Amino acid sequence: MVALLARLPGSYAGPTRPEAAPHAIVGVGEATLAVQLAETLVAVNFTRTGTQFVLDSADAGDAARTFAELAEVAGAKVRRVSTGGSASEIDVLVPGGPLATYHFAQFLAHATGHGDQAQAADALLTDLAFRCAPSVEQDNPARDLAWSLWGRTPLLLAAPDAEALPQAWQTLLARIGKTLSIPVMGDPLPFVTGAFEAQHEKGDGKIALILGDADPALMVAREILDSRIDEVVHVPYFQEEVGGYAAQLGLWYFGAWVAAYLAERYEQSPNDLAILRRAQAVLSGEAAEDTLNAPREDVRRTPIVKDWRDDGETDDLDDGDDFDEEDFDEDMDEDDDQ
């Protein structure tokens, strides 16, 4: 994953010719985040004229096919962009996986006539690749932030004009970093004022990330959170970029680096889990549904008794000998009779 991240800037190899305007974009599956980030370029979802872009991954092919058919009936020219599927239905094929967002987004930037924004994004990503590389041991912003997130649950906040970023970071931290985070969507004030009031201890082990530019509401939210959780960190746009397509794609890319280093801290692989690949294969029709019957150890929680034993606190435990399954069944039968 780290090698893929380092090579990502400038790796887009799709078409760069603008399509006929007006433009509209809709995305499903792995293309969802790219469409949200590209809303700074095109904020229209459907059009009856011009070009309708339908972006999807193979596991969301049915929904994409429906959107494409509706657009064709309405009179728009449809361009299908996907990570896989039937060759007769797809106009542009892009690489799949957790970094597919970059390729989808750069396609949209070029196809909607914003090639300059695509170039600006690549320049920004190239700079971040140098700053976040594993060889940079001091003042590595991605590694430093990953250290701050380690052992904590991040709360993700952003201004309304960057509301794609909390969801983007939640996906990156889960898919690559293998950890839970909580996006705070909409007005942050009801959340930050009330979420920890009944159980103050829930603020322990929490860190808030303010992504992108902070508007007045976020500044107030920060002051409130300072007294309720462990830490609040502002993650601004890089190179003093004004919030927009290039800036937001840059912050998405930075989030991928942070997630990769966080997986390293947790001694987890940043690559996709086998169960995710199986689920996507089932939805794309490449595998039978029984493929999802994963080995139990893939999805079960850590055995609690094992954790106690690791802590040396199980002297009184006898591997469950005190638990009589027959007596338990009899008790359950008596309850049923009552």
User: Which of 88, 112, 136 lies at the terminal end of a domain, its last residue?
Assistant: 112
In a domain, 70, yes or no: yes
| 141 and 183 inside one domain | yes
Q: Are residues 125 and 150 in the same domain?
A: yes
As for how many domains the chain has, the answer is: 2
Domain with 136, as residue range(s), is: 121-265
- Domain co-membership, 143 together with 186: yes
Q: Is residue 167 located within the same domain as residue 83?
A: no
Q: Are residues 133 and 251 in the same domain?
A: yes
The answer to the question of residue 324 being in a domain is no
Considering the domain boundaries, does residue 270 fall inside one?
A: no
| Residue 89 φ then ψ, to 5° | -105, -10
Taking the chain, what is the end-to-end CA distance rounded to the nearest angstrom? Answer: 58
- Structure confidence at residue 242 (pLDDT): 59
Encode the chain (338 residues) as per-residue pLDDT tens digits.
889 999 999 999 999 999 999 999 999 999 999 999 999 899 888 889 999 999 998 888 888 889 988 988 988 899 999 988 778 888 999 999 999 999 999 999 999 999 999 999 999 999 999 999 999 988 999 999 999 999 999 999 999 989 999 999 999 999 999 999 999 998 999 999 998 988 888 889 999 999 999 999 999 999 999 999 999 999 999 866 556 899 999 999 999 999 999 999 999 999 989 999 888 888 877 765 555 554 544 444 444 344 434 444 444 444 444 444 455 455 445 555 54
Output the pLDDT for position 315.
47
Last residue of a domain, one of 205, 231, 265: 265
Same-domain check for residues 83 and 146: no
Residue 59, domain CATH = 3.40.50.10920
Q: Let me know the angle formed at the C-alpha of 33 by 246 and 79, rounded to the nearest 5 degrees.
A: 90
Residue 316 lies in a domain: no
Does 134 lie in the same domain as 105?
Answer: no
User: Does residue 28 sit in the same domain as residue 133?
Assistant: no
Choosing from 112, 144, 163, the residue where a domain stops is: 112
The contacts of residue 273 (CB under 8 Å, 6+ apart) are 298
65 and 144 together in one domain: no
On whether both 164 and 128 belong to a single domain, the answer is yes
Coil vs helix vs strand at 319? coil
| Domain assignment present for 2 | no
* One domain, residues 59 and 130: no
DSSP reduced 3-state for 37: helix
Domain membership of residue 190 (yes or no) is yes
The backbone region for 258, taken as left when phi is positive above 0, alpha when psi lies in -120 to 50, beta otherwise, is alpha
Render the burial of 71-84: b for 16+ CB within 10 Å, e for the rest.
beeeebebbbbbbb
Judgement on whether residues 127 and 258 belong to the same structural domain of the protein: yes
Q: What CATH number corresponds to the domain at position 242? A: 3.40.50.10490
pTM of this structure: 0.83
